Chains A and B, each alone.
Chain A
Amino acid sequence: MTKANAISLTRSLAAHAVLLALSAAFALPFIWLVITSLKPPRQIFEFPPRWIPDPIQWSNYREAIQAFPFIDYTINTLFVTLSGTFATVASSALVAYGFAVVRWRWSNLFFLVMLSTIMLPGQVTAIPVFIIFKQLGWIGSYRPLVIPAFFANVFFVFLLMQFFRTIPRDLVDAARIDGCSHLDIFWRIMLRLSKPALAVVMFFSFTGGWNDFMGPLMYLNDDRMYTLSLGLQQFMAQHSAEWHLLMAGSTLMILPIVALFFFLQRTFIEGISLTGLKA
């Protein structure tokens, strides 16, 4: 073995050691969740806690699924989440382009107004917002959960703006001279060069919708329309809580997101972004 090889091997080992240690620390909550989901109720709040459930109770999962219409609620959740994600990503990207790329008078002022709307805590606007939805006759439907998503999300607009702004201006100007409209540039240049950013926004929006509890609780009144996060409340009665089932249900509920994350983060492989164009 040459010296250079040895050094690179040591480096690689060191890198893996650091990554492994960090991953272990960060995976702890999830490992904990899975362990708890396999425990018999008696062992959940034991102190000091035990690492390996005794016995390992796989039946928790079966029971959790059978406690409420799991499939129906999954379909409901998918509908709310997917339509919300589609709407948010599409509208936020358009708005971000309008602020970051198109140059127009007052755009800074409008941006500041937009950003300031998220500085007011939602608790004090909750009542008037509810009144609007009531006037529209939307209470008891999914509309309050998905329709506002068509009107852009401030967090995502700002985030996408920051990404759009790193794309060379010359590219836009050249395309304009070539006779491209802004929609062309938006669609053909900006979106294509911002795939990692779009993936992030899509993922955040999906997770947000998937885990949302307050929204469905506030606006849904029919248990056939419930989402998974509302379904999990089944396990939290006033005088008896079924923690083992809650944990099993929660584990099942986050698995799809874990899978989604795993696939989405593959967009972030260093070096394959269109460096030639961007430099």
Chain B
Amino acid sequence: MTQPPDNSDRRQPETRSRARANAALLGAFCLAAVVIYLLAGPRSDQVNGRTEIVYWHGWAGKEFKPLQKIIDEYNRAHSNVFVKPTYVGAGYQKMRIAFAGGDTPDVCSSVWVEDIPDYAERGALTPLDDFIASSTRRLDDYPPPIQECYRYNGKTYALSMSVSAIFVAYNKQVFRESGLDPERPPRTLEEFDRAAEACTRFRNGRREDGIERLGFPYGGLIYWANAFNVEFWNQQTRQTGIDSPRMIECVNWMKSNVDKYGFQAQRSFASTFGNLLSPNNPFISGKIAMAIVGDWYTEIIKIYAPPGFEWGWFPIPAPPDGRTSSTLLDASMFVIPSACRHKREAWDFIEYITSPVGQLGFKTGKEPSALAATKTVQADPLFQTPYWNFVKELASGPNAISIKTPLYNKFLFLLNRIEDQTLSGALPPAQALKEARDAYTEAVAEVLRK
């Protein structure tokens, strides 16, 4: 049985000194708390009464350096504003939480083309039309498909420095070795499949010893579905074409190609691929002969490929009734969140950074790493090479598309799932597509209820 504690007035001196020591310890703990609290405070900024423009971006390290230079110049030239860039990481989870918490930056470029509908639909972005109209910037200086990237429901929400387009890259040397003409890339889907087959090689020439080189790792449903003329989303009817007959055709085509060598064999071969951003990138190391890439691929080749690496490019081939020269456009979009308190200054910065200064200045080497957004800058001698002419034509063509599907991440997640389920044979295509459609429709219903 516990004894009740002593009465305080009868405490012995020893007890009292212990009590004092204890009080001192607790006091020290509280004092430490206060000191740490003070030390942990924010650092004051040297903005000297200038309006601070908080700018969030997703570029790290070397990629950010040229941008930092442009921002520094801007800050030097403007005595009333100060642009402060902050890296928000690759996952953009910070952005979503900060937007939800009402702590948004003034300018943000960590938004992709496909994210625009999701942010715009929820009223999180400022339309830029009035700013553009009152400035010297002319939207018709952008090729129409690129203008379309910036638009949602008739309003312009973003501008960009550059734009990327998707196409197929092929290894010329492998083509030559495989008896294909390296200067005449496949044009139709049939030619493409035949080229892929011709480039595939087995170890010791025996199928059962495993794959040594794959012509093309069939996958990337979103790009092929686009070439097969699948309508991802119809804004009028608010319906998805994810389970349309065209989509089933696309999945069946892909599956028939995968089945040539067996799904498991290809998957285990694919698990030996090195990271895309490394010299062991399977396209560079010759493990695959063709790959679906974007125009930034020239940068990857420049950094990681050995000297003399020969590669070519051609548009994603389409079936006879599909979209020829189809491509998906993407870009880091400069937007102004609606909660921004300095919209005029924010626009001024966007106008500057997306002007020719930014379009030409944002590159790590001498050559550009992405296609400039405006026609004026695209006319620069830098973009007059065969490669950039090809990209320019592709990105301005009638089948250059920017995705306007709500809940794009969910959509992409479902497409990946379809790919996995159907190619492995776990589910028949029709069932997998129907399930995906139901899941997508249910999620989208939440978006559309307002």
Q: A86-B32, A130-B97 are in contact. Are A237 and B59 (CB under 8 A)?
A: yes
A-side contacts of B61, CB under 8 Å? 67, 233-237, 240, 242
Q: A176-B3, A179-B5 are in contact. Are A127 and B100 (CB under 8 A)?
A: yes
Residue of A nearest to B39 (CB): A79
Q: Is B29 positioned at the interface, with any CB of A under 8 Å from its CB?
A: yes
B90 and A236: CB pair below 8 A?
yes
B-side contacts of A179, CB under 8 Å? 5-6, 11-12, 15
Q: Is A163 positioned at the interface, with any CB of B under 8 Å from its CB?
A: no
Main secondary structure of the interface of A (DSSP, over half): helix
B-side contacts of A176, CB under 8 Å? 2-3, 5
Number of interface residues of A (CB under 8 A): 56
A277–B296 alpha-carbon span in the complex (Å): 69
A42–B279 alpha-carbon span in the complex (Å): 5
Q: Is A54 positioned at the interface, with any CB of B under 8 Å from its CB?
A: no
Query: How far, in Å, is B262 (CB) from chain A's closest CB?
Result: 20
Query: How far, in Å, is A167 (CB) from chain B's closest CB?
Result: 16
Q: A134-B102, A237-B61, A239-B296 are in contact. Are A146 and B36 (CB under 8 A)?
A: yes
Q: Is A45 positioned at the interface, with any CB of B under 8 Å from its CB?
A: yes
Other-chain residue from A146, A184, A222, A239 in contact with B18 (beta carbon distance below 8 A): A184
B residues 6-27 near A (Cβ < 8 Å) are 6, 11-12, 15, 18-19, 22, 25-26
A residues 202-247 near B (Cβ < 8 Å) are 214, 217-218, 221-225, 230, 233-243
A239 and B299: CB pair below 8 A?
yes
Q: A127-B97, A130-B103, A145-B40 are in contact. Are A41 and B278 (CB under 8 A)?
A: yes
B residues 255-297 near A (Cβ < 8 Å) are 272-275, 277-281, 296
B40 and A47: CB pair below 8 A?
no
A139–B103 alpha-carbon span in the complex (Å): 9
Q: A83-B39, A179-B5 are in contact. Are A240 and B86 (CB under 8 A)?
A: no
A173 and B2: CB pair below 8 A?
yes
Residue of B nearest to A177 (CB): B3
Number of interface residues of B (CB under 8 A): 61
Other-chain residue from B40, B87, B296 in contact with A146 (beta carbon distance below 8 A): B40
Q: Is A115 positioned at the interface, with any CB of B under 8 Å from its CB?
A: no
B residues 46-62 near A (Cβ < 8 Å) are 54, 58-62
Q: Is A162 positioned at the interface, with any CB of B under 8 Å from its CB?
A: no
Query: How far, in Å, is B106 (CB) from chain A's closest CB?
Result: 12
Q: Is B89 positioned at the interface, with any CB of A under 8 Å from its CB?
A: yes
A184–B6 alpha-carbon span in the complex (Å): 14
Query: How far, in Å, is B288 (CB) from chain A's closest CB?
Result: 13
Q: Is A126 positioned at the interface, with any CB of B under 8 Å from its CB?
A: yes
B33 and A150: CB pair below 8 A?
yes
Residue of B nearest to A144 (CB): B40
B25 and A241: CB pair below 8 A?
no
B-side contacts of A141, CB under 8 Å? 40-42
Instruction: Identify the B interface with A (CB < 8 A).
Output: 2-3, 5-6, 11-12, 15, 18-19, 22, 25-26, 29, 32-33, 36-37, 39-43, 45, 54, 58-64, 84, 86-90, 93-94, 97-98, 100-103, 272-275, 277-281, 296, 299-300, 303-304, 364, 369
Instruction: Identify the A interface with B (CB < 8 A).
Output: 41-42, 44-47, 67, 79, 83, 86-87, 90, 103, 126-127, 130-131, 134, 139-143, 145-147, 150, 173, 176-177, 179-181, 183-184, 187, 214, 217-218, 221-225, 230, 233-243
